[in-house]
Chains A and B, each alone.
Chain A
Amino acid sequence: MTDATQDLPLPAERPPTPSAGIVSWLRVNLFNSIGNTLLTLVAAWFLAMTIPRLVRWAVIDAIWHADSGRACRGDGACWAFIGEKLRFILFGRFPYAEQWRPLFVVLIFIGLILASCDRRIWGRRLVLLWLVGLALVGVLMWGGILGMSYVETDLWNGLPLTLILAVVGMALAFPLAILLALGRRSQLPAVRAICVAYIELIRGVPLITVLFMASVMLPLFLPTGMTIDKLLRAQIAFILFAAAYLAEVVRGGLQAIPKGQIEAADALGLGYWQRTRLIVLPQALALVIPPLVNTFIGTFKDTSLVIVIGLFDLLGTANAALTDANWRGFFAEAYVFIAAIYFSFCFFMSRYSQMLEREFSKGRRR
Chain B
Amino acid sequence: MASPSTDSIPRPARPPFWRNPAVRGVFYQLLFIAVVVAVGGFLVHNTLVNLGRQNIATGFGFLHREASFAIGESLIAYAPSDTYARAFLIGLINTLYVAVLGIVLATVLGTVIGIARLSRNWLVAKLTLVYVETFRNIPLALQLLFWWTFLREGAPSPRQAWRPLPGVFVSDRGLEFPLPQSNPAHLWIFLAFVVGLAGAVAVSGWARRRQMATGVQFPSGWVGLALIVGLPLLVFLTAGTPLAFDWPALKGFNFAGGGSVSPEFAALLFGLTIYTASFIAEIVRAGILSVSWGQSEAASALGLRPGLTMRLVVLPQALRVIIPPITSQYLNLTKNSSLAVIIGYPDLVSIANTTMNQTGQAVEGIALIMAVYLAISLTIALSMNLYNRAVALVER
- CB-defined contacts of A1 to chain B, threshold 8 Å: none
> Which residues of the other chain, B, contact A39 by a CB distance below 8 angstroms?
119, 121, 123-124
Q: Show 10 residue pairs from A and B whose CB-CB distance is below 8 angstroms, ordered by the A residue.
A: A32-B120, A40-B121, A188-B28, A206-B373, A212-B349, A212-B356, A212-B369, A220-B46, A304-B139, A332-B154
Query: Is A208 touching B338 in the complex (CB atoms < 8 A)?
Result: yes
Chain B residues within 8 Å of A270, by CB: none
Interface residues of B in 359-396 (CB under 8 A from A): 362-363, 366, 369-370, 373-374, 377-378
Give the segment of A13-21, A90-98, A133-141, A341-349 that binds chain B: A341-349
Are A338 and B142 in contact, with the CB atoms below 8 A?
yes
B229, CB-defined interface residue at 8 Å: no
Does B97 sit at the interface, judged by CB under 8 A?
A: no
Among B121, B153, B341, which residue has its beta carbon within 8 angstroms of that of A208? Answer: B341
Determine which of A47, A220, A343 lies in contact with B134 in the assembled complex, contact meaning CB atoms within 8 Å.
A343
Chain B residues near A74: list those with CB within 8 A: none
Does A224 lie within 8 Å of B53, measured CB to CB?
yes
Q: Which of B149-199 contact A (CB under 8 A)?
A: 149-150, 153-154
Q: Which of B322-376 contact A (CB under 8 A)?
A: 335-336, 338-339, 341-342, 349, 353, 356, 362-363, 366, 369-370, 373-374
- Asked if A44 is an interface residue, CB under 8 A from chain B, the answer is yes
Determine the distance from Cα of A39 to Cα of B120 in the docked complex, in whole angstroms. 11
Q: Which of B105-159 contact A (CB under 8 A)?
A: 119-124, 127, 133-134, 136-142, 145-146, 149-150, 153-154
Given A43-B127, A190-B32: A209 in contact with B369 (beta carbons within 8 A): yes
Inter-subunit contact A350/B137 (CB<8 Å): yes
Query: Bound complex: CA of A343 vs CA of B142, how far in Å?
Result: 11
- Cβ of A213 within 8 Å of any chain B Cβ, yes or no, is yes
Establish whether residues A332 and B150, one from each chain, have CB atoms under 8 Å apart when the complex forms.
yes
Binary per-residue interface labels of chain A (270-313) against chain B in the complex, 1 for a CB within 8 Å, 0 otherwise: 00000000000000000000000000010001111101100000
CA–CA, A335 and B122, complex, Å: 30
Chain A CB within 8 A of B51 CB: yes
Chain B residue numbers with a CB within 8 Å of A304 are 139-142
Nearest CB to that of B50 among chain A residues? A220
Asked if A339 contacts B341 (CB within 8 A), the reply is no
> How many residues on B have C-beta within 8 angstroms of the other chain's C-beta atoms?
53
Residues of B within 8 A of A329 (CB): 153
| Choice from B140, B349, B377 contacting A204 with Cβ under 8 Å | B377
**Which A residues touch B295, using CB under 8 A?**
none
* B120 contacts across to A, CB distance below 8 A: 29, 32, 36
Q: Is A171's beta carbon under 8 Å from chain B?
A: no
Is there an interface contact between A30 and B373, defined as CB atoms closer than 8 Å?
A: no
Q: A204-B370, A206-B349, A224-B46 are known contacts; what are 8 more A-B pairs with Cβ within 8 Å?
A: A39-B121, A205-B370, A217-B47, A331-B146, A331-B149, A342-B138, A346-B138, A350-B137
Q: Which residues of B contact A29 (CB under 8 A)?
A: 120-123
B208 to chain A, nearest CB (A): 31
* Interchain CB contact under 8 A, B133 and A305: no
A49 within 8 A of B: no
A43-B127, A205-B369 given as contacts; is B138 within 8 A of A220 (CB)?
A: no
CB distance from B285 to the nearest CB of A (A): 13
In the complex, the chain A residue whose C-beta lies closest to that of B29 is: A190
Q: B49 within 8 Å of A by Cβ?
A: yes
Closest A residue to B134 by beta carbon equals A343
Q: For the complex, is B33 an interface residue (Cβ under 8 Å from A)?
A: yes
Closest 7 CB pairs of A and B: A346-B137, A29-B122, A206-B335, A190-B29, A206-B338, A301-B139, A216-B362
**Does A201 belong to the interface (CB within 8 Å)?**
yes
The verdict on A111 contacting chain B, using a C-beta distance below 8 Å, is: no
